[in-house]
C-alpha cells in the first residue's frame, strides 16, 4: 500500500470518526487490503453534478463524512455568494439504502450553517425536488440518489436556484469550495436543528396540479379513461406520486406491479434498477402481456427516467428505446398543440448532441425552433433559463430515457412523462392505433432513424486512465473510414472545434467544453464517443437513417439499419 493511502487510513483511524467506521477500517486492514486501497486511493470527486459512488468507509466512498464535507463546501459557497442574505435550500432523497440518513445529514449541515432547510418528510421523486426549489424560491437544493445505478451506490445531486443542476460558473466554484474542506473537523455537523422544516402533502398537491396542467387532450382521456395501464416503480420513489398523477389525469384502470411496488434499496427483483434494461422491465412486461394491457411504464429509483413497453405491429410486447420515446413525446407535443390551436409562434424544443437527429427533423417540419445542447438536463435547463421571456419552451429530452415537459421543473421528470405517454396512448387508441403504429407513421413522415448504444466499463484505479487513452487515440488518429464510408466531419467538443476532413475547413463549436467526439460519415451515419460523467464507462452512440416507404416495409428496413450499425461496431472493433 502506498504512503498516501496509508496516511489517509491513519487519519481516519485517529480522527473524529465514529467507532463503527474505525472498526470497519480495521477489519479491512486485516482481511481485505484491495478493498481498503480502493476505498482510500483517491478522494471521491465532487463533479459538476455532485457525488456518486459506492457506499462504504473511506475517502473514495459515499458515507456520512464525504456527504458532510461536500455539504459544508456547498454551504460555504452559498454564504459567499449571498452574504448576509436569508437563504433556504430544499433536500430530497430516493429509496436507496442510507438515502434518508444522508439526506438528514445534509439537512443538518446546511442548517448548522444558518440556512433554512426544507426537508421532504420521506422519499420523493427527484423532479419534485426541482419543483420545490422553484416553488419555495430556494437558493439551492440537494437530492440523495444514485439514480439507476446498482444497489451498492448512492449519490448527491446538487441544484441551483432555478431548479436545475449546477452549471458554470457555480459548478466549478462549488467544487473549489468542497475541495477546500480538508478535514471532518471543518464541518458544522449540528446546532441548527430549529432551521429544518418538513415538506409533505402540500408540496405533493402543488406538483400534481402542475403536471395536470401539461395535458393537451383531457377530453380524449375522458373518452379513454379505461386505458389499461401497467406501472412499475421498480422499488423506487415513483410509487409516491405516479398513481396519484394518473388518477388526477382521469385514468381509472391502472395496475401497479405488486412485486416491485414497495420501496426497497436492495432492489430485490432486479440486477439493476434501470428501466433501460429489458431484464428490469421483465416482470412488468409479463403482467402487461397477461392482462392484454395498452401500455407498460417503469420508473427508476428516483423517478426521473421512464421505460415504456407497447405492443408492436405483430402484437408482440416490445420496449421502446430512449430515442423512440423522445421522438413520440416531442412529436405529440408539437403536433397535438398545433392541432388543438395552442401552439405558439415562438415555441421551442431542446435535445442533446447524442440524441436522435429525428427530433431535429420533426421540429423542422413543424416549424418549431430546436436547440441541441450538451448531454445532461442541466444544459437543457440552462438554455430554458437563457430563453425565458423570448421563446416558449415546450419539451426537452435525451436518449437516456429522460423527458422534461413544461418549464415548471428544470430536470428530467418521469412522473409527468408517464402521464403524458399514457395520454399519447389514449389519443392513438381513440383512432384505433397503438403508440407503435404512431412510431411507424412518424418514420414514414420524417425518415427512419435508428440508434444504438454500447457502454464499455473500465473499473478500478486504472479504469479512468484507460478511458482517457481511448479518447486520446481517437483524437490523434481519427478513423478515415467507418464501415466503408469516409469520415467527412470530426466534431471535438473538448477542443470546441469542428473540421471538414475532406476540405480541411474548421469552425468553432459554440457550446461549453465537453469530452465528446463525433464522427459524421458521407453516408449520413453518426458515431459519438463520450466517457460517462457518473460511472467508469465510455459510451459509444451510433445513429443511422434511411427513408421508409410504407408500413409494410418496416421490418426489412429495420433489419437493414440494424445490420448497418452492427457493421459499424465490428469495423470499430468495439464488440
With CA atoms as reference, report the closest residue to 208 among 419, 377, 421, 444. Answer: 419
Average of per-residue pLDDT across 93-107 = 98
pTM of the model: 0.95
Q: At what angle do helices 242-249 and 414-429 cross, to 10 degrees?
A: 40
Distance (Å, whole) CA 387 – CA 258: 43
* DSSP per residue, 4-32: HHHHHHHHHHHSS--HHHHHHHHHHHHH-
Q: For the segment 405-449, what is each residue's pLDDT rounded down to a tens digit?
A: 999 999 999 999 999 999 999 999 999 999 999 999 999 999 999
How far is CA 415 from each of CA 97, 140, 238, rounded to the nearest angstrom? 22, 22, 7
Q: Which helix (H) or strand (E) holds 234?
A: none
Q: Which helix (H) or strand (E) holds 373?
A: strand 369-373
Distance (Å, whole) CA 408 – CA 38: 41
Answer yes or no: are the C-beta atoms of 38 and 60 closer than 8 Å: yes
Average of per-residue pLDDT across 147-151 = 92
Distance (Å, whole) CA 471 – CA 564: 23
Cα 367 to the chain's mean position, in Å?
28
Distance (Å, whole) CA 162 – CA 137: 8
Q: How many contiguous H segments (helices) and E segments (strands) does the chain have?
A: 18, 23
Pairing of strands 448-457, 526-531: unpaired
Distance (Å, whole) CA 88 – CA 260: 35
Average of per-residue pLDDT across 47-64 = 93
Average of per-residue pLDDT across 454-463 = 81
pLDDT tier for residue 466 given thresholds of 50, 70 and 90:
confident
Distance (Å, whole) CA 222 – CA 255: 18
- Read off φ and ψ for residue 136, nearest 5 degrees: -95, 0
Answer yes or no: are the C-beta atoms of 210 and 245 closer than 8 Å: no
pLDDT at 288: 98
Which residues pair with residue 308 across a beta bridge?
Answer: 297
Distance (Å, whole) CA 128 – CA 398: 20
pLDDT at 5: 93
Answer yes or no: are the C-beta atoms of 49 and 28 closer than 8 Å: no
From the options 2.30.30, 2.160.20, 3.30.1380, 3.30.310, give the CATH code of 448-571.
Answer: 3.30.310
Average of per-residue pLDDT across 57-67 = 97
137 grid coordinates: 424560491
CATH topology of domain 42-202: Alpha-D-Glucose-1,6-Bisphosphate; Chain A, domain 3 (3.40.120)
Cell 466517457 locates to 531
Q: Could you tell me the residue ranges of all domains in the chain?
A: 42-202, 226-446, 448-571
How many percent of the chain have pLDDT more than 70? 99
Q: For the segment 303-337, what is each residue's pLDDT rounded down to a tens digit?
A: 999 999 999 999 999 999 999 999 999 999 999 99
Distance (Å, whole) CA 483 – CA 282: 34
For residue 257, is pLDDT > 80? Answer: yes
Answer yes or no: are the C-beta atoms of 199 and 90 closer than 8 Å: yes
Cell 467526439 locates to 517
How far is CA 75 from each of CA 8, 87, 108, 178, 315, rounded to the nearest angstrom? 25, 10, 11, 9, 54
CATH architecture, domain 226-446: 3-Layer(aba) Sandwich (3.40)
pLDDT at 533: 65
Q: For the segment 473-508, what is each residue's pLDDT rounded down to a tens digit?
A: 999 899 999 999 999 999 999 999 999 998 999 999
Position with higher pLDDT, 153 vs 48: 153
For residue 535, is pLDDT > 70? Answer: no
For residue 118, is pLDDT > 80? Answer: yes
pLDDT at 461: 63
156 grid coordinates: 448527491
pLDDT at 458: 83
Answer yes or no: are the C-beta atoms of 376 and 397 closer than 8 Å: no
Q: Does this chain's domain 226-446 share its CATH topology with 448-571? A: no
Average of per-residue pLDDT across 248-259 = 98
- Contacts of residue 280, Cβ cutoff 8 Å, sequence gap at least 6: 234, 270, 271, 272, 273, 274, 298, 307
- Read off φ and ψ for residue 246, nearest 5 degrees: -60, -40
Answer yes or no: are the C-beta atoms of 164 and 378 closer than 8 Å: yes
DSSP-derived secondary structure letter, 305: -
Answer yes or no: are the C-beta atoms of 125 and 132 closer than 8 Å: no
For residue 525, is pLDDT > 90? Answer: yes
Q: Which of 47-56, 86-95, 316-325, 482-491 has the lowest mean pLDDT?
A: 47-56
Residues belonging to the chain:
575
Average of per-residue pLDDT across 508-537 = 91
Composition of the chain by helix, strand, coil, percent to 5: 40, 20, 35
How far is CA 471 from each of CA 95, 399, 530, rounded to the nearest angstrom? 35, 22, 8
How far is CA 546 from each of CA 97, 358, 437, 453, rounded to the nearest angstrom? 46, 11, 18, 19
Distance (Å, whole) CA 338 – CA 550: 25
pLDDT tier for residue 465 given thresholds of 50, 70 and 90:
confident
pLDDT at 534: 60
In the sheet with 153-160, reading across from the earlier edge strand, the strands are: 50-54, 153-160, 140-144, 88-93, 116-120, 196-199
Active site residues: 147
pLDDT at 97: 98
Amino acid at each position: 500500500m502506498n504512503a498516501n493511502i496509508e496516511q489517509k487510513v491513519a487519519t481516519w483511524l485517529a480522527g473524529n470518526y465514529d467507532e463503527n467506521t474505525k472498526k470497519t477500517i480495521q477489519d479491512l486492514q486485516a482481511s481485505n487490503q484491495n478493498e481498503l486501497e480502493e476505498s482510500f486511493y483517491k478522494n471521491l470527486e465532487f463533479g459538476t453534478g455532485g457525488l456518486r459512488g459506492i457506499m462504504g468507509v473511506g475517502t473514495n466512498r459515499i458515507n456520512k463524512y464525504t456527504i458532510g464535507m461536500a455539504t459544508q463546501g456547498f454551504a460555504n459557497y452559498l454564504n459567499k455568494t449571498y452574504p448576509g442574505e436569508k437563504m433556504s435550500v430544499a433536500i430530497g432523497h430516493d429509496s436507496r439504502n442510507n438515502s434518508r440518513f444522508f439526506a438528514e445529514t445534509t439537512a443538518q449541515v446546511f442548517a448548522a450553517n444558518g440556512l433554512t432547510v426544507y426537508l421532504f418528510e420521506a422519499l420523493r421523486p427527484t423532479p419534485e425536488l426541482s419543483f420545490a426549489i422553484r416553488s419555495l424560491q430556494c437558493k439551492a437544493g440537494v437530492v440523495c440518489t444514485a439514480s439507476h445505478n446498482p444497489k451498492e451506490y448512492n449519490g448527491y445531486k446538487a441544484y441551483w436556484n432555478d431548479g436545475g443542476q449546477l452549471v458554470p460558473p457555480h459548478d466549478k466554484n462549488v467544487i473549489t469550495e468542497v475541495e477546500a474542506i480538508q478535514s471532518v473537523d471543518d464541518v458544522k455537523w449540528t446546532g441548527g436543528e430549529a432551521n429544518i422544516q418538513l415538506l409533505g402533502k402540500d408540496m405533493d398537491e402543488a406538483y400534481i396540479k402542475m403536471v395536470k396542467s401539461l395535458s393537451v387532450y383531457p377530453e380524449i382521456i375522458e373518452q379513454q379513461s379505461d386505458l389499461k395501464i401497467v406501472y412499475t416503480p421498480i422499488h423506487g420513489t415513483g410509487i409516491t406520486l405516479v398513481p396519484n398523477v394518473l388518477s388526477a389525469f382521469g385514468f381509472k384502470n391502472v395496475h401497479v406491479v405488486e412485486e416491485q411496488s414497495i420501496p426497497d434499496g436492495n432492489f430485490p427483483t432486479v440486477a439493476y434498477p434501470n428501466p433501460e434494461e429489458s431484464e428490469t422491465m421483465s416482470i412488468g412486461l409479463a403482467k402487461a402481456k397477461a392482462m392484454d394491457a395498452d401500455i407498460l411504464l417503469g420508473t427508476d429509483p428516483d423517478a426521473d427516467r421512464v421505460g415504456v413497453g407497447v405492443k408492436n405491429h405483430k402484437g408482440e410486447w416490445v420496449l421502446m428505446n430512449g430515442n423512440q420515446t423522445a421522438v413520440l413525446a416531442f412529436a405529440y407535443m408539437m403536433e397535438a398543440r398545433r392541432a388543438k390551436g395552442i401552439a405558439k409562434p415562438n415555441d421551442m424544443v431542446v435535445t442533446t448532441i447524442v440524441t436522435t437527429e429525428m427530433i431535429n427533423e420533426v421540429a423542422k417540419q413543424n416549424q418549431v425552433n430546436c436547440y441541441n445542447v450538451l448531454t445532461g438536463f442541466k444544459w437543457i435547463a440552462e438554455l430554458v433559463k437563457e430563453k425565458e421571456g423570448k421563446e416558449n419552451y415546450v419539451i426537452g429530452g435525451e436518449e437516456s430515457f429522460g423527458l422534461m415537459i413544461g418549464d415548471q421543473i428544470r430536470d428530467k421528470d418521469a412522473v409527468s412523462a408517464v402521464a403524458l405517454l399514457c395520454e399519447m396512448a389514449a389519443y392513438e387508441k381513440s383512432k384505433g392505433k397503438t403508440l407503435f403504429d404512431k412510431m411507424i407513421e412518424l418514420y414514414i413522415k420524417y425518415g427512419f432513424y435508428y440508434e444504438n448504444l454500447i457502454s464499455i466499463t473500465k473499473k478500478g484505479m486504472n479504469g479512468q486512465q484507460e478511458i482517457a487513452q481511448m479518447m486520446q487515440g481517437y483524437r490523434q488518429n481519427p478513423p478515415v473510414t467507418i464501415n466503408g464510408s469516409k469520415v467527412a466531419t470530426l466534431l471535438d467538443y473538448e477542443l470546441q472545434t469542428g473540421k471538414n476532413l475532406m476540405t480541411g475547413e474548421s469552425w468553432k463549436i459554440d457550446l461549453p467544453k465537453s469530452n465528446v467526439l463525433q464522427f459524421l460519415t458521407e453516408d449520413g451515419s453518426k458515431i459519438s464517443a463520450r466517457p460517462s460523467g457518473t460511472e467508469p464507462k465510455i459510451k459509444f452512440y451510433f445513429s443511422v437513417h434511411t427513408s421508409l416507404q410504407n408500413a409494410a416495409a418496416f421490418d426489412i428496413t429495420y433489419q437493414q439499419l440494424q445490420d448497418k450499425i452492427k457493421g459499424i461496431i465490428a469495423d470499430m472493433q468495439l464488440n
